[in-house]
Amino acid sequence: MPTPLNDVLAALGVPANRTAIAIGNNWIPGTGETLHVRSPVDGSMLASFPLATANDLKPILDAATNAFHDWRMVPAPVRGEFVRRIGIKLRERKTELAQVVSWEAGKILAESLGEVQEMIDICDFAVGLSRQLHGLTIASERPGHRLMEQWHPLGPAGVITAFNFPVAVWAWNAMLGLVCGDPIVWKPSPKTPLCALATHAIVVDVLREFPEIPQGVVSFIIGDREVGEAIAGANELPLISATGSVAMGRAVGQKVAARLGRSLLELGGNNAMIVAPTADLELAVRSITFAAVGTCGQRCTSLRRLIVHESIADNLIARLKGVYSKLPIGNPLEKGVLVGPLIDEAAFESMQEALESARQAGGQVTGGGRIPGEGFYVHPAIVEIDAAAPIIREETFAPILYVMRYRELSEAIAMQNNVPQGLSSSILTNDLREAEMFLSPAGSDCGIANVNIGTSGAEIGGAFGGEKETGGGRESGSDSWKAYMRRVTNTINYSKELPLAQGIKFDI
Ligand code: NAD
């Protein structure tokens, strides 16, 4: 393991013996096969330790269930105080945690710092929310009656996360879930286990300040798909929030539905941007480049399809190729680098397969090759292609930008919507009517629709998620907190009569 990362993990309080399980401050070894974690940065071995299996899950579920009995009765603003302290600790540990993210997920340091900042932001949001978990008072049709609704904690929540946002997605769920009164059982990606250990160590540091909080309020279990499936099937977890591929979401969604549980699915995207004739091309080049090559194309919101008006296409494509030819690609921890590595060899292979499929469909590919050396560093690709090519309907988790041309806005919107996924979208235009049409019911069918910015880089204040195969879930801001609570409708009779609703007479 690179010494700097060892030191960083020690400074964060991660025990020297890496474990696949922790329940609060109780770090427990898994009983499964040994996991070898290699850094995408340089291929170095970051850690080796036994994974957990589905058999290791029961003590975690028991601890979370027991913790729930106490945690649900802690006043929400007091739960918010715990989250506030986590936010403060994250501020103190921001650089260290970001370094772990860069070493393990391969993000450039600026983006890793941004990811930790997102955790801090959601802490702040959740603290405010802890004093605003409000229901409605509703007019009753009956005299002497009051009708109202309350929101109560739902129960322990299972949170399954992907490798590409190895700490922020947990925080989006955990910070809201915790203030809502739900213990959190986290199943991180086995590709980024150290990010989970580091995050958990920060939380445990805060937990020490609150001896009255049961340890089972926060736990994690690192395992492969088998552990994820066991979590999805666990009746002890009324909510499963799962972030990852569509294939994973399909499996998890069905498993949770079979037990009539609640699932919140945040799955793959296939995000498009329409660039209209009036677009500011300077702004276009910058926003396209960040959205398409940032995180080496490994964001759920990465820009994958560019739909450009034919009158400006040649100019825009030439400018993009110019910028792409000078992109600083390399070690994500080095200053000035903008594009780090792909996560692993499998990601590189699937990128090459997608490019081959594009070529077979007549696509003109620029870039896409591997840069020799350790790690899977690639030149981001621009592919001019026909909108009918089958490959553009798939999400390939790599920096490939498919470029298509359009004549009429209605045609561009149809192209943008003609994929199975529905996460993020944007239009660049200075024509108000075009922008409003794009945002209208006949416009983008995605959960996120932007004007004059790219598809990636959402703020935590809005609800985040997408439609169609993206799964329909919403997390983070706005009223996403409602997914973590149960709504109870109360009717209170303060009269001496017993009038029935709908005027029904039932005299005995
Ligand atoms: P993945 O689906 O391979 O894995 C995600 C998580 O699910 C991991 O923890 C994995 O162990 C677990 N898992 C896999 N199969 C499972 C199963 N059958 N049952 C239960 N758990 C299972 O995804 P990945 O490669 O880690 O991440 C990339 C994908 O995630 C992309 O498709 C990306 O678009 C998506 N993603 C979506 C969002 C969003 O908010 N919409 C955010 C980040 C990533």
> Which atom of ligand 1 is nearest to 466's Cα?
41
Tokens representing residue 64 in the block: 């979370």
Q: For 404, phi and psi rounded to 5 degrees?
A: -130, 160
In the reported structure, the alpha carbon of residue 4 is separated from the centroid of ligand 1 by a whole-number distance in angstroms of 29
- Ligand 1, atom 42, lies closest to the CA of 300
Contacts of residue 503, defined as CB under 8 A and 6 or more positions apart, other chains included, come to: none
pLDDT of residue 160: 98
Mean pLDDT of 260-282: 98
Return d(Cα 438, Cα 431) in angstroms, integer: 11
Question: H or E element: which one contains 402?
Answer: strand 400-406
Give all strands of the β-sheet with 218-221 in edge-to-edge order.
26-28, 21-23, 218-221, 184-187, 157-160, 239-243, 262-266
320-349: pLDDT as tens digits: 999 999 999 999 999 999 999 999 999 999
452-507: pLDDT as tens digits: 999 999 999 999 999 999 999 999 999 999 999 999 999 999 999 999 999 999 99
pLDDT of residue 233: 98
Return d(Cα 156, Cα 174) in angstroms, integer: 11
Return d(Cα 458, Cα 30) in angstroms, integer: 35
Mean pLDDT of 163-191: 98
pLDDT of residue 202: 98
pTM score over 0.95: yes
One of 123, 296, 300, 446 is an active-site residue; which one?
A: 300
Cβ of 71 less than 6 Å from ligand 1: no
Q: How many CB atoms lie within 10 A of CB 5?
A: 22
The pick from 118, 173, 254, 300 for probing ligand 1's pocket by mutation, whose C-beta has the most ligand atoms within 8 angstroms, reads 300
Cβ(24)–Cβ(55) below 8 Å: no
- Ligand 1, atom 21, lies closest to the CA of 228
**Can you list the domains of the chain with their CATH numbers?**
5-267+471-488 (3.40.605.10), 271-460 (3.40.309.10)
> Which atom of ligand 1 is nearest to 269's Cα?
34
> Which atom of ligand 1 is nearest to 266's Cα?
41
In the reported structure, the alpha carbon of residue 299 is separated from the centroid of ligand 1 by a whole-number distance in angstroms of 12
pLDDT of 2 above 70: no
Cβ of 232 less than 6 Å from ligand 1: yes
Mean pLDDT of the chain: 97
Cβ of 1 less than 6 Å from ligand 1: no
> Which atom of ligand 1 is nearest to 268's Cα?
34
C-alpha dist (Å) from residue 107 to 37, 189, 497: 16, 16, 66
pLDDT of 174 above 50: yes
Cβ of 172 less than 6 Å from ligand 1: no
Contacts of residue 375, defined as CB under 8 A and 6 or more positions apart, other chains included, come to: 39, 40, 41, 42, 43, 106, 341
Contacts of residue 2, defined as CB under 8 A and 6 or more positions apart, other chains included, come to: 39, 42, 44, 46, 103
One of 266, 434, 469, 475 is an active-site residue; which one?
A: 266
The phi-psi region of residue 218 (left if phi > 0; otherwise alpha if psi is between -120 and 50; otherwise beta) is beta
Q: For 364, phi and psi rounded to 5 degrees?
A: -95, 110
> What helix, strand, coil percent values describe the chain, rounded to 5?
40, 20, 40
pLDDT of 3 above 80: no
Eight-class DSSP state of 339: B
In the residue annotation, 180 being an active-site residue is answered as: no
Proportion of the chain above pLDDT 70, given as a percent: 99
pLDDT of residue 1: 44
> Which atom of ligand 1 is nearest to 251's Cα?
18
In the reported structure, the alpha carbon of residue 208 is separated from the centroid of ligand 1 by a whole-number distance in angstroms of 32
pLDDT of 94 above 50: yes
Cβ of 474 less than 6 Å from ligand 1: no
Question: H or E element: which one contains 158?
Answer: strand 157-160
Return d(Cα 228, Cα 159) in angstroms, integer: 9
Cβ of 225 less than 6 Å from ligand 1: yes
pLDDT of 286 above 90: yes
> Which atom of ligand 1 is nearest to 231's Cα?
20
pLDDT of residue 30: 98
In the residue annotation, 266 being an active-site residue is answered as: yes
Cβ of 377 less than 6 Å from ligand 1: no
The pick from 173, 243, 455, 475 for probing ligand 1's pocket by mutation, whose C-beta has the most ligand atoms within 8 angstroms, reads 243
Cβ of 168 less than 6 Å from ligand 1: no
Contacts of residue 493, defined as CB under 8 A and 6 or more positions apart, other chains included, come to: 142, 144, 145
pLDDT of 4 above 80: no
